[in-house]
Chains A and B, each alone.
Chain A
Amino acid sequence: MAESDAMPTLPKKCGPYISSVTSRGMNLVIRGIVLFFIGVFLALVLNLLQIQRNVTLFPPDVITSIFSSAWWVPPCCGTASAVIGLLYPCMDRHLGEPHKFKREWSSVMRCVAVFVGINHASAKVNFANNIQLSLTLAALSIGLWWTFDRSRSGFGLGIGIAFLATLVSQLLVYNGVYQYTSPDFLYVRSWLPCIFFAGGITMGNIGRQLAMYECKVIAEKSHED
């Protein structure tokens, strides 16, 4: 792996902390943890939105927990977001086309805000019918991608994530783990893929931004040498 190559080239002068931060493996772990917690947080918040509107129904006994949703939802979302957030920069590296569009924290924050807004809209805005809701959300998600990502790889990965996640949630609902109040797309709501797509783009954006630091550290290191 590339990590093992990178290890011996570390300057000996650095202390254990710095070298651990600058080592790629450690960096990966840190990034993963950060992404995991971001995912957990977003999952909790967004779930709250959905539960308020009775979009999602969990069995009544789990609702009594303080997070007002099932215990397994936040960790799942966290893990998924960590994977996605690490996958995006990794794919960028492997494709050899570094992502250069709007690489700033303010842009990332904007992206997150729009993502929360999409969720908000899906939960709170009263649409005439489900088709309209889904179409609007799909347009919003594509808009999100166009505004903040604009890379083909990001689009592809987002589609893939949306597909996979929808499949998983179909299976979950099929097995009765939870359910939606008015399913209109097999067992789930038809806007679910849009939300997953937007979430994938957002987490990818965050992940890329975090990966930026790794790049910078490595660049600095080579500069030192």
Chain B
Amino acid sequence: MTLTEKLRERISRAFYNHGLLCASYPIPIILFTGLCILACCYPLLKLPLPGTGPVEYSTPVKDYSPPSPDVSLQQGDLSERPDWYVGAPVAYIQQIFVKATVSPWQKNFLAVDVFRSPLSRVFQLVEEIRNHALRDSSGVKSLEEVCLQVTDLLPGLKKLRNLLPEHGCLLLSPGNFWQNDRERFNADPDIIKTIHQHEPKTLQTSATLKDLLFGLPGKYSGVNLYNRKRVVSYTVTLGLQRYDSRFLSSLRSRLKLLHPSPNCTLREENIVHVHFKEEIGIAELIPLVTTYIILFAYIYFSTRKIDMVKSKWGLALAAVVTVLSSLLMSVGLCTLFGLTPTLNGGEIFPYLVVVIGLENVLVLTKSVVSTPVDLEVKLRIAQGLSNESWSIMKNMATELGIILIGYFTLVPAIQEFCLFAVVGLVSDFFLQMFFFTTVLSIDIRRMELADLNKRLPAEACMPPAKPVSRSQRYERQPAMRPATPHTITLQPSSFRNLRLPKRLRVIYFFARTRLAQRLIMAGTVIWIGILVYTDPAGLRTYLTSQVTEQSPLGEAGLPPMPVPGGVLPAGDPKIDLSVFPSDPIQLSENQTQQREQKSGLESLTEVTWGPEDEEIWRKLSFRHWPSLFSYYNITLAKRYISILPAIPVTLYLNPQEALEVRHPQEANRYHPFLAPNSGKLGAEAQPDQASSKLQGHQDVTLYKVAALGLASGIILVLLLFCLYRVFCPKNYGQNGPSHSRRKRGDLPCDDYGYSPPETEIVPLVLRGHLMDIECLASDGMLLVSCCLVGQIRVWDAQTGDCLTVIPKPRLRRDSSGIFDYQESWDHSPDGKNGLDDSFENSHQLKRMLSPPQPLLFCDQPDLTSLIDTNFSERAKVAESETRLRAVGSRQKETGYDFSSLVGKAYEEHGTSSNCGNFTGLSAPHGRSLGDESFTSSPLPAWGGDLESSVWSLDLQGNLIVAGRSNGKLEVWDAIEGTLRSSNDEGQSGITALVFLNNRIVAARLNGSLDFFSLETHTSLNHLQFRGAPSRSSIPSSPVFSSSDVVVCQLTHTVSCAHQKPITALKAAAGRLVTGSQDHTLRVFRLEDSCCLFTLQGHSGAITAVYIDQTMVLASGGQDGAICLWDVLTGSKVSHMYAHRGDVTSLTCTTSCVISSGLDDVISIWDRSSGIKLYSIQQVGSEAAARERLRRLLGFSGPH
């Protein structure tokens, strides 16, 4: 036990120190981690990329013999030999590469003549090949014996039945288009149409029939109408079953003999073996995709729990990066130590991520975020880390244990998985500790900075509010609520906005999540990814050919062209290019002209062979061979084919031949040039026009698809835009949704609990007052209430005990003296104590919970005054901040309930009462009846003989300040119930009070403001501090010991602060804000009572005002509007129509404004955008009834 404890403490301390380190040097540590990741991932470069691309292996032609099928029998250097190179290949591929041209070219030839006669020679060539036989000593060997015999095509390919050989040798040539029948070819009026009739209509990336039969990419064939090179290329592809070197070499030499290629430099040394991997079919893909979907759902649900940070997205990204790079590191490290992964990386990856998990990262974030915000960032990180150290270590040990158990299953696959997982876990831990913690510290610091920026002005004019040290926090736990991050926790539920119709909610959901946009985006990305991934070769060749064709410098500017040279034999291309560098049509025209001048009617074309003709099959799509063989139901998956060096064949055709094979219809269609000069341009143009139509089979499909895609994209965007405009509110925008979502993502740990603990809170009932409560003040520790008869009670907010009762002054009504019921208030002039209660805590907790009730002296309902608080609950839940916040929000609700409760109780009797003549007494700023008369000076009528009622209260430390209706200001000791000081310099009743530090501001009925300062005659040595001595430099609100002499001195008076009675008064951050019935707000400086701003914007009397440390001012008026102001500049930030009827109270958090109104609605607004986030309809109509009653009686509450 003790060992565990010791270990625990040690771990905790280590984590604490580590946290300090990380937060102190974030940048170096992140750099260090990045270097580590890169270093560990370096071995990954050696790994082959996962994919289905074919793998090649070359062996020399000389002495080639098929590898033996038995692995163990293989001799020689096995290291170079890939493991798939075993046994005979599926087939040997022999290509006979033909280049043909009509030479010399006569200029009155048609465009079709470029390829018609060269193509016609293929029949002859095929015959030659077919009939080739090797005669030697062992007899006659014909092609039939060595070639790959194919049988039926797949049943689904009826269309191709006539085009692909169905029986006998696998011999493919362009002649297959005409069933290897010369007559058919000659009778064919439109060759290009025949060739293209089987091209797919849509963009397809796999091999097409044209590619299959031509044996080389369509771009290189030269069979089109604007082939300016006039060289046609095609191949005759031969599939061989067995490798017979003598037969093949005899074929080669015979063909070379028949069709010599004098300048051919093709190398013929190597046989290339191409191994095809297993194709991933849909069936295999579906489980894979499912696991990935689950993985993404997991990541999504995990990262959405990150909250209370500056950038949610940043941290989520960091979390994902942490996990991913730990996996990469794990693979890299394993590779480094000699373990090569044999598992399919794509398949096990999601499971690895799930095993490693994001939990630790989330726990860390949560722990750090829940540390007290007023600590230094370093300390927060360190504390958060050390809080969770034990559980992190425990979890990691458990996981390692489980994985180690898995390692001993002795199944190789599982062992490998476990190995990766273990290394991944360790590296993940490393990254969490170094990378994520540091990122988190940066994030927290950014948040802190943002807060600081907001708070700076406040601190500039204020005695700086300092971080409260720890010892003292424990001392005053309940009051110690961190001021800044007030966040309202709302029940996350899809049923919150109960009044929205379903239709709208669906649309809102779409709009909020931008679902459609995201889906489209993801779809596009996936589509592009699939395109790029599945056929990189095809796409790339396609693109390069597109570029070269369309580029004006295409022919000369890009030397590695399929058929370079031999193109412009007669003219001088350099001169042409220098003269007309950018116009291909002019260029060709010019060439022809030059050619014409030089060689009259003819131009010679020479076929050249260059390095680019080497292994022309490489330019084919890598699906070429698999798809060819799949037509015959032969799979190449996990097998290989051997591609023999191509046999070059060069064909020169003379013009006569070209003319002979010309089809009569072609001569008509492609009109021959009549006049050499004038017709030339037309002839050039005409084939171009024709080609633009016919050649389109290749290009137009792409353009069509692109245009369609573009159009549909535009339409979709427009549609979405319209939807957006129609369905989204005008000010829907930047901040609202993200805030609301953050609210929803703010899930406290008990969010999913079966029994939410909040519902068990029972309000504390404070009984003691005999009359209605007039006013109420609290600082979290104490609660002061005053009932209509003037009795002031002080309650302990935690226990609900009544600590002090200050009796009604009525008992001593006849005594003219004011202080006579206080015996010994001025006896012992003593020192004062500093109370540490930082006022930002107290002023936020303090709420005027009860709406004041009319004073009715006669026919008073026999009420037991009820004050409900639930402050005591706070002690229970103070340890968890999230709960604290939850209680904070509940506190508000119960407060409201309480007021309605009292109101209801009152209502039963109020209607029967007829005490309208007392209204003026208790309604210092009544608005309906006799308003003006009261404001002028209502008080002299009653003088001082009537006992005065308490109109306002405030509490700080152990002092209660009470403002009376006769203008008297009294300072009471809360604990002892003695009057400490009094000031009756004012005549007009005090409607509102603020007590801050040692300053008291009283607002009077006549609209004037009095600034008092509370001075203690400190004597000698009674200076004590309840907090740590180190904080002595920090000014804090005083606690006055009972022996002090407290003098309340009027320092300033603003005689005419407002034209009408002041109804709301708040102070914070060195500013005092008054709201009045004259529809204006004023901002004063506390020190010198200088009026800084007059804020106009309400169209009714101000009823509620809120200001806090961050200098944000919110005000609500009788017009039901809420205005947010910037106190620094005095400008209105936003204006919201909040309620039908008065705004009764108002408070703010960092992101929200919460208001309640007479319409029984509590609304929560987004502070920055002014959008209503939620509204809570109070059930019941008490408030409405109360409002009616009030109007009837001409009352209105002070707030």
Contacts and interface: CB of A to CB of B under 8 A. Distances in A.
Contact of B402 (A13, A143, A222, A225): A143
Contacts of B291: 113, 116-117, 120
A214 B800 CA distance: 37
A114 B354 CA distance: 8
A190 interface: no
A68 B354 contact: no
B484 interface: no
A120 B495 contact: no
Contact of B298 (A45, A110, A216, A220): A110
A106 B298 contact: yes
A116 B294 contact: yes
A21 B301 CA distance: 24
Contacts of A132: 409-411
Interface string B718-742: 0000000000000000000000000
B498 A223 contact: no
Nearest to A221: B495
Contacts of A112: 294
Interface string A191-225: 00000000000000000000011011101101111
B501 A103 contact: no
B284 A103 contact: no
Interface string A101-121: 001111011101110110011
Q: Which DSSP category, helix, strand, loop or mixed, fits chain A's interface? A: helix
Contacts of A164: none
Contacts of B298: 106, 109-110, 113
Nearest to A222: B759
Interface in A122-148: 124-128, 132, 135-136, 139, 143
B287 A106 contact: no
B358 interface: yes
A18 B499 CA distance: 9
B358 A106 contact: yes
A98 B754 contact: yes
Nearest to B756: A219
Contacts of A213: 493
Contacts of A222: 759
A200 B297 CA distance: 21
A100 interface: yes
Contacts of A106: 298, 301-302, 305, 358
B495 A113 contact: no
Contact of A68 (B283, B290, B755): B283
Given A106-B358, A109-B298, A114-B354, A125 B283 contact: no
A178 B305 CA distance: 45
Contacts of A44: 286
A43 to B, nearest CB: 12
Interface residues of A, number: 54
A140 B402 CA distance: 10
A14 interface: yes
A8 B774 CA distance: 40
Contacts of B409: 132, 135-136, 139
A15 interface: yes
Interface in B348-375: 350-351, 354, 357-358
B1161 to A, nearest CB: 13
Contacts of A49: 287
Interface string B472-498: 000000000000000000010101101
B495 A103 contact: no
Contacts of B301: 104-106, 108-109
Interface residues of B, number: 43
B294 A113 contact: yes
A17 interface: yes
A48 interface: yes
Contact of B286 (A15, A45, A103): A45
A109 B302 CA distance: 9
A166 interface: no
Contacts of A136: 409, 411, 414
Contacts of B294: 109, 112-113, 116
B519 interface: no
B347 interface: yes
A113 B351 contact: yes
Nearest to A118: B351
Contact of B491 (A52, A116, A126, A220): A220
A22 interface: yes
Given A113-B291, A117-B354, A48 B752 contact: no
B411 A125 contact: yes
Contacts of B413: 121, 124-126
B558 interface: no
Contacts of A217: 493, 495
Interface string B398-420: 00001001100111111000000
B513 to A, nearest CB: 16
Choose among A14, A44, A105 the residue with the greatest number of B CB atoms under 10 Å from its CB. A105
B501 A15 contact: yes
Contacts of A103: 752-753
Q: Which interface residue of A110, A121, A222, A224 has the most chain B CB atoms within 10 A?
A: A110
A108, A112, A222: which has the most chain B beta carbons within 10 Å? A112
A222 B498 CA distance: 14
Nearest to A211: B754
A220 B493 contact: yes
A102 to B, nearest CB: 9
A113 B297 CA distance: 10
Nearest to B354: A113
Contacts of A46: 287
A198 B305 CA distance: 27
Contacts of A98: 753-755
Contact of B347 (A22, A105, A120, A127): A120
B495 A18 contact: yes
B501 A17 contact: yes
Given A52-B283, A52-B284, A105-B301, A116 B402 contact: no
B287 A48 contact: yes
Contacts of A143: 402
A4 B974 CA distance: 55
A222 B402 CA distance: 44
Contacts of B759: 219, 222-223
Contacts of B402: 143
B287 A45 contact: yes
A128 B495 contact: no
A199 B835 CA distance: 62
B1179 interface: yes
A22 B495 CA distance: 9
Contacts of A17: 501-502
A103 B740 CA distance: 23
A100 B754 contact: yes
A201 B295 CA distance: 19
A129 to B, nearest CB: 10
A136 B402 CA distance: 12
A71 to B, nearest CB: 17
Contacts of B495: 18, 21-22, 217, 220
B493 A216 contact: yes
A176 B822 CA distance: 102
A124 B291 CA distance: 15
A63 to B, nearest CB: 11
Nearest to B503: A17
9 contacts: A15-B502, A22-B495, A103-B753, A106-B302, A120-B291, A121-B414, A126-B413, A127-B411, A139-B406
Given A113-B298, A113-B351, A124-B347, 11 more contacts: A100-B753, A112-B294, A113-B291, A116-B290, A117-B354, A121-B413, A125-B411, A128-B410, A132-B410, A222-B759, A223-B491
Interface of A: 13-15, 17-18, 21-22, 41, 44-46, 48-49, 51-52, 68, 98-100, 103-106, 108-110, 112-114, 116-117, 120-121, 124-128, 132, 135-136, 139, 143, 212-213, 215-217, 219-220, 222-225
Pairs A-B, 7 closest by C-beta atoms: A98-B754, A109-B298, A103-B752, A106-B301, A105-B301, A106-B302, A113-B354
